[in-house]
């Protein structure tokens, strides 16, 4: 009974937050048998000549991570915030693999099911940024422009925290106690947690149910995909769309020097470094993030070529 009550209170908190920023929660099955169904928030409607924005959260996160940013984006733009497979409220089979390539294919299926026929503005934070980069390489015809918020870089830019993660200290990003949770926040942010302690406690406890699953996903990423990031990212040299690269100067997980690495890979790129900001950019610099994302969209909207559906 206690767990149910805590889940209910956490759900209510999220629902109120979503209502306050003007998003609507929806669910969309991407296959005929409904085995995989994406849960997402939506704000605004598609606008002719303007790319829809699709926001991809980071590892062990959810669509709610973007709510502080969406608060500052008007409904005159079309915004979609998704829960990735095996995250948040998106439903998929426990037996399905969770390789990045599998995520890319399911994201494509979601965009097809959503009938986003015009190229989109794909935005991703942390590993969500890696997903954005690799999706752009694999499915360039879907993309008008991208925004990368501190994705994990190649091994040359490996931070001490990533070295510790690879050594098995996964509590850095997957805390198992409340104390470890606050230690994670102190390491990865400059801004202190402002949410009520009661909410933080409930949020932390809700994560414990999926802790082992998230550990397996992290282990798989670090043991295989992370080791091949340089090879994957090198293909960004072929990307033709414009890219906005956002980074926190005090990021201890993905060091700020890596922003230049991505900028050199993508010829048409723009870099913005936020002072007094760690790894959780959407949380720490929500208004500034929204401003930069929207301004980049406005500048590059003239590049969008609409796909005709007439025959």
CB hemisphere CA count around 205 (13 angstroms): 15
Instruction: Report how far apart, in Å, the C-alpha atoms of 26 and of each of 29, 62, 218 are.
Output: 10, 14, 28
- State residue 106's pLDDT score: 96
- State residue 311's pLDDT score: 30
- State residue 11's pLDDT score: 80
- State residue 7's pLDDT score: 67
Domain ranges across the chain: 2-300
| Alpha carbon distance 165, 159 (integer Å) | 10
| Alpha carbon distance 153, 232 (integer Å) | 11
Q: Where does 2-300 sit in CATH, by number?
A: 3.40.50.1820
For each of the chain's 311 residues, which pLDDT tens digit applies?
233 334 677 788 888 999 999 999 999 999 888 789 999 999 999 998 899 999 999 999 999 999 999 999 999 999 999 999 999 899 887 777 778 999 999 999 999 999 997 889 999 999 999 999 999 999 999 999 999 999 999 989 999 999 999 999 999 999 998 889 889 999 999 988 777 777 777 777 777 878 888 999 999 999 999 999 999 999 999 999 999 999 999 999 999 999 999 999 999 999 999 999 999 999 999 999 999 999 999 999 865 444 333 33
Q: Which two tokens stand for residue 246?
A: 């956002």
Classify residue 3 as exposed, middle or buried by CB count within 10 Å of its CB (0-12, 13-18, 19+).
Answer: exposed
Q: How many beta carbons lie within 10 A of that of residue 39, not counting itself?
A: 18
| Alpha carbon distance 252, 159 (integer Å) | 7
| Alpha carbon distance 170, 44 (integer Å) | 38
- State residue 309's pLDDT score: 35
> What does pTM read for this prediction?
0.92
- What is the chain's length? 311
- State residue 198's pLDDT score: 73
Classify residue 91 as exposed, middle or buried by CB count within 10 Å of its CB (0-12, 13-18, 19+).
Answer: middle
- State residue 105's pLDDT score: 96
Q: Which ranges of 22-99 does DSSP label H, i.e. alpha helix?
A: 67-70
| Alpha carbon distance 145, 91 (integer Å) | 28
Classify residue 158 as exposed, middle or buried by CB count within 10 Å of its CB (0-12, 13-18, 19+).
Answer: middle
Q: Which helix (H) or strand (E) segment is 282 a member of?
A: helix 281-284
DSSP string, 284-309: HSHHHHHHHHHHHHHHHGGG--PPP-
């Amino acid at each position: 009974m206690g767990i149910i009550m805590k889940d209910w209170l956490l759900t209510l908190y999220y629902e109120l937050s979503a209502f306050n920023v003007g998003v609507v929660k929806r669910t969309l099955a991407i296959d005929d048998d409904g085995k995989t169904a994406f849960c997402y928030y939506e704000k605004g409607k598609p606008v002719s000549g303007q790319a829809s924005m699709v926001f991809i959260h980071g590892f062990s996160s959810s669509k709610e991570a973007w709510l502080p940013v969406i608060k500052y984006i008007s409904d005159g733009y079309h915004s979609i915030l998704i829960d990735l497979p095996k995250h948040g409220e998106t439903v998929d089979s426990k037996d399905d693999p969770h390789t990045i390539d599998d995520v890319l294919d399911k994201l494509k299926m979601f965009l097809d099911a959503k009938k986003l026929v015009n190229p989109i503005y794909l935005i991703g934070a942390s590993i969500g940024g890696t997903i954005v980069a690799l999706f752009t390489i694999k499915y360039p015809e879907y993309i008008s422009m991208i925004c990368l918020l501190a994705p994990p870089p190649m091994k040359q830019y490996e931070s001490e925290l990533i070295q510790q993660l690879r050594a098995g200290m996964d509590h850095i990003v997957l805390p198992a106690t409340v104390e470890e949770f606050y230690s994670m926040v102190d390491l990865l942010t400059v801004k202190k947690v402002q949410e009520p302690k009661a909410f933080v406690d409930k949020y932390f406890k809700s994560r414990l149910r999926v802790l082992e699953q998230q550990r397996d996903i992290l282990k798989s990423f670090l043991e295989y995909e992370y080791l091949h990031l340089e090879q994957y990212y090198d293909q960004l040299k072929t990307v033709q769309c414009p890219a906005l690269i956002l980074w926190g100067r005090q990021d201890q997980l993905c060091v700020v020097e890596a922003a230049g690495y991505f900028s050199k890979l993508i010829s048409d790129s723009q870099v913005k470094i936020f002072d007094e900001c760690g790894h959780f950019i959407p949380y720490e610099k929500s208004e500034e993030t929204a401003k930069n994302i929207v301004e980049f969209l406005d500048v590059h909207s003239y590049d969008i070529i609409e796909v005709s559906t007439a025959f």
